[in-house]
Every structure is written in structure tokens, then in C-alpha cells.
Chain A
Amino acid sequence: MPRAKFQTLTEQMYYILLCLSSECYGMDIMDKVPQMTDGRVKVGSGTLYNLLEQFLDADMIKETKAEGRRRCYILTDKGRERLDNEYKRLNSLVSDYQRLMGKEDPQ
């Protein structure tokens, strides 16, 4: 079953939204995400461009300013709520693991 749009977030969606918790140029997200994740997560330019368009359509982010073709975005309340929900979902995954496996860190 395909998941409902943005009901759960992929890693890339999660980190893009995380970057936009403060105002940020769309293009800069490509550099920020690998920095935030020690190079573990990378977002391709096409994927980023498409996701920004989709987040805008879903009112999860809004445009704050434009310099030529460079545009700045920030999370909306709806986007923040989705990101929080994802954070909670991930936390519940971690706590379920800890409870069942009886340890805190998977070594």
C-alpha cells in the first residue's frame, strides 16, 4: 500500500523540513543536509526542487523572500506540526526498541 502523502516522512523530507525550521534558501538545503548528518543523507537537486514545490502546494512551507530566482522558505504551522508528528513517531520507534530489546544503544 502506498503511504498517504507526507503522513510519514522519508529521511530526505524530514531533513529538508528540519532545515526550514529557520528561514533558509532552497538551494542551500543541498549543502546543509549532508552537514547535519555527517554526509549520511544527501538530497539530489531534482528531488529537492520537486519536494519544495510539493511542500509549498501542501502549505507545509511558505516563501519568505526572493532574490532573482533564489527563493527563501520557512516552515508553516502545518509543516511544523507534520515535522513534530514525525519526530514523535521516530521517538516511539526508539522507545519501543529500548523496551523490547532492554538496552539503550544498539551495539
Chain B
Amino acid sequence: MKDIKRKVEFFTFYDRTGIEKHLERMASEGWLLEKMSAFHWTYRRIEPKKIHFSVSYYATITDFEPEPTEQQQAFNDFCEHSGWKLATQTVQMQVFYNENENPVPIETDPMLEIENIQRSVKKTVLVSYFLMLFLGFIMGAGFVSTMLGDPILLLSSASRLFTGMWSILALAYSLTELITYFTWRRKAKKLAEQGVFLETRGHRRLGFAIVVFMLMSIVLYLISLADSGLQFYMTAYLLILLAGFPLVNGVKSFLKKKKVKAGTNKALTFAASFTLAFVLTGALTAVTILGIQNGAFEHNSKNLPFTIGELLDVDDSDYLKTHGKDDSILLGQHRSSQHPNTDEHSPTMQYTVTEVKMPFLYDFVVDTLYHHYDEWKGWNSTYEYKETDATSWGASKAWELYRNGESDHAFLICYDKYILEISVDWELTAEQKQIIGNKIYEE
């Protein structure tokens, strides 16, 4: 039977009510809090019993002191005098427990407690919340503007979706925490004037949901990279970045164990973070260079669904071929353009194949692509898609683009789960259309 239990907890920093209730329940189930770290809380097995818990905020506690300062020890002495034993402490927060039936609470003046919480919140989480809010807002605005302007580009790029969703989550989370905190503080101060304490309210479930969502999105992101050859490199990126946190934490803990003074520990830990940041950036750069050398960031032209040489009797080995591929769990997009390198009179071709991986998006994608040329209208040009024979393409639906009433040799073709936009500068024959259709099906 295990005597130690480790749990990842998602409490809001100042949610003393939530933390106390949770710890009381854990004790009644036979688990007493022993340690709080940045990653998890450790519980020790005890005889199940009713124990009271109290969370105190002490703005002068830093995480670099090798031992409690004299002030902290004096504070602990006061608490011990009234039966409150220190369970553990972390940055600016101390957790006490009391086994007496009706102990006098540690805090009996609500206004003083609010002042302490306010000071500690200001020194710890408030800056992070505001920073998260700012970044979330800037990146979220970019996400929303791309969503409105070019939804297909966004939905077909795992990285864009990934950063967009994360920024919106960061925005939602920081906003929720900030609103809840300032609302609590305002109400709590009003009640404190009458000597009444106000319970705190945290967002434990929201915190949990966000962490689960973040982990899931990382996994989905990595899965969506499977075809592109980037998977290995992005996994390496993430692992290198993740390695930074335990390493810096390890330096701090090691120095604490060696009883190094708080100031020296702080300076050395910061120095270690900077050094590590340089080393990790170096490692990331090395990974990137390695990736470029191995062609992981490029798409091999052999992967092009079809080339101009397969349609016309031309030697396209000298052609300039640009191509890009984006993939997400929702959509995939393969963009290609093929232009002659020297001879300006040789034919050119460009096309985009959009793969709809989630059927519910199909109509939306077709509709968006159909209206792609709407914004090009004006001046002296008019663009219009006219329905054309789909069977010659082996497709279910096809439109041809007309500019000022004349064919522009551009088409929008709907296959089962692929939608092709193609533009050429010659008259496509039925045979060429058939070849394209077959190539798309092969894809």
C-alpha cells in the first residue's frame, strides 16, 4: 500500500476556501498534505480524521530561502501556540493544520487578511495574468482576423490553429481569473468593513480543462504533422522547451538544499535561466538547421499531385516549381505553382488542392472558395464562376471562372473529399481533365 500520493492540483492562488475544503476532504480520506511544488502536491497517508486547514498568505516568503526566515519562524510559533502546525509552504503561501475540534482561526480580521492576499497576489500571479491577457489579446485578435479573412488558411494549418486556440484560451483564462479576483476583492472589502469574511472562489475545473485541452492539442498537433516529416523536429522542439522548467527548478532546489543564501540562490537561478535560455535556443537552432538539411521543412516535388509535364508534351524539368503543404485535423491544403524558368511563352499552371478531413466542413469550404474572387471584383474586371460539366473532370461539381465574360482557364472542382482550384493559360482538353481527376483520386 502506497504511503505517498502525488496529485496535480489546479487551484487558483488565492482560493483559500477551495484549498482548505479540499485538504479537509483529503484528510478525512486519510491523506495529509506534505509538500507543494510547482508541478504537484504530495500527500502522506494518515489515519482518516477531521482536521482543520488554514491557508495564510505572507508576502515576504520567497522561494529561494533555504530555511524559514526568523520572521516566518516567529509567525509559525504564533500559529503553533494556538494549535496550528505548518503542513507546508510555497511561494508566499503557508498551509497550516489543526487537529483541535474548534480552533481559533489564524485570521480573525478580514481586512488584514485581504491586505495580505492583495500583497501576495500582486507579487505572484497578477503580473502573469496581465501578461497572459495582453499576449492572448494580441494573438487572439490575429487569430480572429485570419478566421474572418481567410478561414481555410487558418483551418488547414495545425500551427495556426494551435497557437490561435492557445491564445484564446489564455485570454479566456486570464480574463476569468482577473474578473473573479477583482470582484472578490471588492465584495470582500465591503464585507470586511462589517468584520465578515468572504469565501473565495477559484476555477479548479477550468484550470484542469485548460491543461487537458493543451495536452490534447499538443498531441493532435504532433499527429497532424505525421505526413510532413516535421513531427520528429517539433517533438524535439517541445521536449527541449519543456526541459527548461525542471532544469531551472532543479538548480533552485539544489542550491536550497546546499543552504545557499536566498539572494545568492536567486542570482544563480536567474543566471542559470539565462544560460539555459541561450543553450536551449542554440539547441533549437541546431534542430532547425538539421531539419533544413534533412529537408523536413520542405516538401519534395515528387509529392506534387500532378505536374505540367504529365498534362502537356513539355519538358518541365527546368520549371520553377513552388509548393507548400499545410495540414491540420480539419483540413489539408496543397498549393503548387509551375512556371517556366526561361521561356516566357511556355505554359504555366497553378493549383490548390484542399482536403476536407471533417465532412461537416465540406459545404463551408466550397462556399468560401466559390466566393474567393468576390474581393477581386471592381475596377474594370468582373469575376464570375459559371457551372460547367463536372463529368469530364470525374468530379461531382465544377465551375469555370469568367473574367469580363471570357473564360479565365480557372476552375473550381469538387471531388469526394478534395476540392481543386486550378488555373492554367491554355485550353484544357477533356483528356487532361481526366488525368487531373485520376491524379486527385490517387491522392
A residues neighboring B (CB under 8 Å)? 2, 10, 12, 26-27, 30, 42-51, 69-71
B104 at the interface (CB under 8 A from A): yes
Q: Can you list 12 A-B pairs with a CB-CB distance of less than 8 A?
A: A10-B195, A27-B78, A43-B104, A43-B108, A44-B106, A44-B109, A46-B56, A49-B75, A50-B109, A50-B112, A51-B109, A69-B70
Interface centre among B104, B112, B116, by most chain A C-beta atoms within 10 angstroms, is B112
Q: Interface 1/0s, chain B 93-128, versus A by CB < 8 A?
A: 000000000001111110011001000000000000
CB-CB under 8 A from B195, the residues of chain A are 10
| Interface residue B346 (Cβ < 8 Å from any Cβ of A) | no
Question: Which residues of chain A are within 8 angstroms of B105 by Cβ–Cβ distance?
Answer: 44
Smallest CB gap from B195: residue in A: A10
Please give, as numbers and ranges, the residues of chain B lying within 8 Å of A69 by CB-CB distance. Answer: 70, 73-74, 77
B82 proximity list for chain A (CB < 8 A):
30, 44-45
Q: Contact between B116 and A45 (Cβ–Cβ < 8 Å)? A: no
**In this assembly, does B81 line the interface, its C-beta being within 8 Å of a C-beta of chain A?**
yes
Report chain A residues within 8 Å CB of B104. Answer: 30, 42-45
Taking CB as reference atom, which chain B residue is nearest A28? Answer: B81
A45-B104, A51-B109, A70-B77 known, 13 other contacts, Cβ within 8 Å:
A27-B78, A30-B78, A44-B82, A44-B105, A44-B106, A46-B54, A46-B56, A46-B78, A46-B106, A47-B107, A47-B112, A48-B78, A69-B70
0/1 string, B51-82, CB within 8 A of A gives 1: 00010100000000000001001110111011
CA distance A43 to B109 in the complex (A): 8
Is B73 a contact partner of A44 (Cβ separation < 8 A)?
A: no
Closest Cβ of chain A to B82, distance in Å, is 5
Which residue of A12, A42, A45 contacts B81 across the interface (Cβ within 8 Å)? A45
B199 within 8 A of A: no
Q: How far is the CB of B420 from chain A (nearest CB, A)?
A: 69
**Most A Cβ at <10 Å: residue of B82, B113, B116:** B82
- Closest 6 A-B residue pairs measured CB to CB? A44-B108, A46-B106, A45-B78, A47-B109, A45-B79, A47-B108
Q: Chain B residues near A48 (CB, 8 Å)?
A: 78
Residues of B within 8 A of A49 (CB): 74-75, 78
Separation of A50 and B56 alpha carbons in the complex (Å)? 11
Complex Cα distance, B77 from A48, in Å, reads 12
Interface membership of B84, Cβ < 8 A: yes
**B-chain residues with CB within 8 Å of residue A30 when the two chains form the complex:** 78, 81-82, 104
Among A43, A44, A45, A70, residue most surrounded by chain B Cβ atoms (within 10 Å): A45
Any chain A CB within 8 A of the CB of B409?
no
Cα separation A10 to B112 with both chains bound (whole Å): 11
Chain B nearest CB from A2 CB (Å) reads 7
Complex CA–CA separation, A2 to B185 (angstroms): 14
In the complex, A5 Cα to B116 Cα: how many Å? 15
A45 touches B112 (CB 8 A): no
> A45 contacts which of B70, B106, B113 (Cβ < 8 Å)?
B106
Contact B189 A45 (CB under 8 A): no
| A12 and B108 form a contact (CB under 8 A) | yes
- The 8 Å CB contact of B77, one of A27, A50, A51, is A27
**Residue in A2, A42, A51 whose CB lies within 8 Å of B193:** A2
Name the residue in A10, A44, A71 with the highest tally of chain B Cβ atoms < 10 Å from its Cβ: A44
With a cutoff of 8 Å between Cβ atoms, the chain B residues found around residue A46 in the complex are 54, 56, 75, 78-79, 106-107, 112-113, 116
Q: CA separation between A50 and B111, bound complex, in Å?
A: 11
Measured in the bound complex, the distance between the Cα atoms of B106 and A51 in whole Å is 13
Q: Which residues of B contact A44 (CB under 8 A)?
A: 82, 104-109
A38 CB, nearest partner CB in chain B, Å: 15
- B70: nearest chain-A partner, CB-CB: A69
Tell me the B40-58 residues at the A interface (CB within 8 Å). 54, 56
- The answer to whether B78 and A26 have CB atoms under 8 Å apart is yes
A residues near B70, Cβ cutoff 8 Å: 69
Contacts of B84 in A (CB 8 A): 45
In the complex, how many angstroms separate the beta carbon of A53 from the nearest chain B beta carbon? 9
Expressed in whole angstroms, the Cα–Cα distance for A44 and B107 within the complex equals: 5
* Complex Cα spacing A77 to B54, Å: 36
Chain A residue with the shortest CB-CB distance to B77: A69
**Closest residue of B by beta carbon distance from A70:** B77
In whole Å, how far is B9's beta carbon from the nearest beta carbon of chain A? 23
Rounded to whole angstroms, the CA-CA distance of A12 and B113 in the bound complex is 14
A23 to B296, CA, bound (A): 77
Collect the chain A residues with CB atoms within 8 Å of residue B193's CB.
Answer: 2
| A44-B105, A47-B107 as given contacts; A27 in contact with B81, CB under 8 Å | yes
